[in-house]
Amino acid sequence: MITIIDYGVGNLFSLKSSLEAIGQPVTISNQPETIRQGQRIILPGVGAFGDAAQKLRRSGLDQVLLEEADKGKPLLGICLGMQLLFDTSSEYGLHTGLGLIRGQVQPISSVIPPDLKVPHMGWNALHFPTDQEKHPLFNYTNDGDCVYFVHSYYAAPWGPALIAFSEYGAALTAAVARRNICGCQFHPEKSGLVGLNILRAFCEMGEDL
């Protein structure tokens, strides 16, 4: 069973529908016991980092996520959910994330040319770093496959966590991973067959990465 975390922020039902389309049992929950019983966790998110982080902490779900991730349970953050995996964000002030992946979330306007629109919205190609093996999250994905983005901030990981990037006037982080923890800046549930294949690969990931 895959548990989608419901903390008042996120595109829950299209994500649930996508997982059901690939034959995966899935539930949406904000109950710690249900989350602990699930085999995999997905943390979705849309909106502002500070508000989302506050909602996670007020509900106590931040501690549940940290505990389950520490046990080795596969965890996937999507869009804002990916950004929440990081140490901090500078979106409307300085806010603290879950600290599961080292790095900081920053405005894309600080790195892209001024003539490009913010947010970065639409279909963009995925590219994989050439100095490492392709991550299992992309077992069914090819370099150049396109996925759907909507974001004004990007995560800048410290260390080897970057597993995919996209080009939008600069190389922007598209996906990150550290052992059992993964994150996608794009929306796989809005990315057609490519997105479904990424969700399928996540569902096949073990706990021994």
- The catalytic site residues sit at 79, 187, 189
**49 Cβ contact list (under 8 Å, min separation 6):** 80, 83, 84, 89, 91, 92, 95, 97, 105, 153
State yes or no: cis peptide before 119, omega within 30 of 0: yes
**Position 84, amino acid:** L
Tokens standing for residue 20: 């059901």
Cα torsion 53, 54, 55, 58 to 10°: value is: 130
155-194 burial string, b = 16+ CB within 10 Å, else e?
bebeeebbbbbbebeeebbbbbbbebbbbbbbbbbbbeeb
128-140 burial string, b = 16+ CB within 10 Å, else e?
beeeeeebbbbeb
Count of all residues that appear for the chain in the document: 209
